[in-house]
Amino acid sequence: MKELDKTYSSGIEERIYKKWLDKNYFHADVNTDKTPFCIVMPPPNITGHLHMGHALDNTMQDIIIRYKRMQGFETLWQPGTDHAAIATEVKVIDKLKAQGKDKNAIGREAFLKEAWDWKEEYGSKIIKQLHRLGCSADWQRERFTMDEGCSDAVLEFFIRLYEKGYIYKGSRIINWCPVCKTSISDAEVLHDESEGNFWYIKYPVADMEGEYVEIATTRPETMLGDSAVAVNPHDKRYLHLVGKMLRLPLSDRTIPVIADDYVDMEFGTGCVKITPAHDPNDFEVGKRHKLAEINIFNDDATIDLPGSKYDGMDRYIARKEIVADLEKAGLLVKVKPHLHNAGTHDRCKTVVEPMIKPQWFVRMDELAKPAIKVIEDNKLKFVPESFSKTYLHWLENIKDWCISRQLWWGHRIPAYYCNECGKITVAKKEPEQCSCCGKKAGFMRDEDTLDTWFSSALWPFSTLGWPDKTPEYDYFYPTDVLVTGYDIIFFWVVRMVFSALDETGKVPFDTVLIHGLVRDSQGRKMSKSLGNGIDPLEVIDKYGADALRMTLITGNAPGNDMRFYFERVEASRNFANKIWNASRFIMMNMSHIDTEHKIPDTLKTEDKWILSKTNSLVKEVSDNLDKYELGIALGKLYDFTWEEFCDWYIEMVKPRLREREKDSISADSALWTLKTVLSDLLKLLHPFMPFVTEEIFCNLNNLSEDESIMVSKWPVYDEKLNFKTDEASVEVLKEAVRKVRNIRASKNVPASKKTAVYIVSDDNKHLDIFKESEGIFKHLAYASEVVLKNSAENLEKGCIMAVLAGINIYMPLAQLVDIAEEKQRLKKEEGKILNEIHRAESMLVNEKFTLKAPAAKVEEEKVKLEKYKGMLGQVKEQLAQLESI
């Protein structure tokens, strides 16, 4: 048996991971003799660098996949990366700028070549970082959202939805990013509360001198695009104005007063400016009343009103000018501070502008219905279940999805416009002639690309070969569980579900395991602006991947955020060291024996106890993992390994190992038990800490290079190892040891000082426990002798007693301490306590203190006095006990 190094080093990780890759352990095949289990990895961006969110998400997936692999499933963890349209385009543009080049100047084809070069250079970076984390994904099957197969699936999906009438092109309000100069979906808009103002403005009535309506707005610049002012049809204050025309301030236009139930009479002034081209609610009002849609912005959010004073101004500069001009004209009533939710692009953090633009949309009403029903029919489960409400709320309030983006990097929309009649033809390739006019005049392809989420919505089945009916698709689809953060439910989960139901007729996975965010030690979200981000690779370099993985899962509950502390990483590393050192001790003692695989018939009580406890642990941990309670499972493994196995069982059997020459049968039974339990614990811990468990397990079991813990069998509960009577006996023994150690600790007795221990019980069954395990108890309780008695008669005077159920434990005080020294110490202690009692009583009878001091301070002194009186009673009792000896 190869001996482990003296100290555990995370330097073994690179060697072990290479072995796993070389031996092809991560690869999955279509195997009809096995039950498939499949997870698709949420594809990280090719611009990405491994962050703590990635580390948590992928550690959770790896735990599940390793567990299922050891259970005998044919496990596929399908990896891949996402082209990340906006993020990658920005990166490439910045790279070109640094070279003195301009995106538009070099043209689309040259730009796309630059983007693909970027992908080749940086695309695999995060994958290599996932290797460092120990991820056991099937890297041979790695996919990319813009590889040939996935790209074909995207085009197929688009065409199918278009032919069903779910995709259309139209002018609607969309979210426009003035920096990225593209539309973005509602899910990509963050709504953060920020400080702003309400500006109250007069809109004069055109034919009623001196009369006006007053509106309140948070965006004065948009008044340049107003088409009406709306009031509630039940608001008696303004009914006489409905149908009247208003003079739009700072312009030569007039706009009508309209009545619409959309207006809240209680909010603001009860009059609402309607700007159909720049507000989604106003857009709907405008449709109902057939109002003009006036877009006042250029793509960079500068004002687009030729001939106007404000033409070409940035939106915020125009705001200041407009407010100043309103004030000069006497039309600004007041300005009130107001907190409002400003929508910002989640990528560049720029405030978005709602604008009417011709875009491609997915009609969501019908697509949402089946996605809602799978929750109602319990075909799709969320863990925790409460997140199904988030999912349902999004679907029940869903709007048509804007899927076109004004980018070059991404899947280009497969729509072709006839140069002769303008008819749109949707097809994978440019048609030869127009189906409308019949001309072969040529076509112009749509310039836009598709939203990144449109392609990643197909990820669970496009990666398996869809739309082709591949063996992998037939075998592994639907997948089993999706692991993702709660912040991505509506971005991705919803879209995968309705896309899969529409195209495959199946839910893409039966369970969605939701995790929270990894926050810093103060509970703050990690961000560049705060400078509180922690690089997982730096943690791995210093502490090892196992320590990081363990830290991320310890105490982790599905759906809850977690705080990252380096103290916890150090504790995780200490746990790895604990396992390593315990394993070294066991293996050093096994060097001269051969432990067989069958259960020996010479097991002692403590052997049966640890085997029975381990057997129960196997069942509990497996149940927890089946319920995706990863944090609970790891907590049980940590406590059991550290306390029951290392601190109790190993200590229990040390005397048997030392006395091997006297009783080799007993020593060999202990070693068989040690190896058996350690092997099972390593297997149970392997999904969480794959590297250290691999190294120990392979050496412990003399495995060849072609063998690994990750392909060993997962432990299963065995009724033959259910030793409840022995469990109960050892638990009594442990409690007795704790009682003895507590007494010794209270008297500061060193471990080297042995004392007699008397076990007294009128129940011989209790005494038999100590009789059978006398050596263990004597060793653990630091006893010079263990005396079993049916009564306390004839015990020497001055014994300290501890009580268990049906058992009394006595220890001669004279053997624990020097009586004369202890009396002297207690006398000194008594004097100190009496001084404190006198001080407290003096303060509490002093009216200057009780009347002038804060009530809390007076109460504090009263509490101290009672505490000191209690301590005095205990000291007097101990002194009396010593005097009786």
Contact 316, 351 (CB under 8 A): no
Rounded Cα distance, 496 and 514, in Å: 15
Rounded Cα distance, 479 and 497, in Å: 12
Burial class (CB in 10 A: 0-12, 13-18, 19+), 21: middle
Cis previous bond, 431, omega within 30: no
Contact 700, 678 (CB under 8 A): yes
Rounded Cα distance, 431 and 442, in Å: 8
Give alpha helix (H) positions in 752-854: 764-772, 774-780, 813-816, 819-844, 847-852
Per DSSP, the three-state class of 636 is: helix
* Residue 45, beta-bridge partner list: 82
DSSP 208: S
Contact 291, 227 (CB under 8 A): yes
Per DSSP, the three-state class of 729 is: helix
The annotation status of 528 as a binding-site residue, yes or no, is yes
* DSSP character string of 510-574: SEEEEE--EE-TTSPBP-TTTT----HHHHHHHH-HHHHHHHHHTT--TT--EE--HHHHHHHHH
Rounded Cα distance, 821 and 880, in Å: 15
Rounded Cα distance, 89 and 87, in Å: 6
Sign of the alpha-carbon dihedral angle for 161, 166, 171, 176: negative
* DSSP character string of 42-66: PPPBTT----HHHHHHHHHHHHHHH
What type of residue is 851?
L
Rounded Cα distance, 549 and 569, in Å: 9
* Residue 416, beta-bridge partner list: 425, 445
Rounded Cα distance, 580 and 587, in Å: 10
Rounded Cα distance, 482 and 377, in Å: 19
Rounded Cα distance, 325 and 337, in Å: 20
Structure tokens at 664: 């080799």
Give alpha helix (H) positions in 773-818: 774-780, 813-816
Rounded Cα distance, 785 and 783, in Å: 5
Rounded Cα distance, 873 and 27, in Å: 71
Per DSSP, the three-state class of 689 is: coil
Nearest to 219 by CA among 172, 278, 268: 278
> What residues form the annotated binding site?
528
> What residues form the annotated binding site for ATP?
528
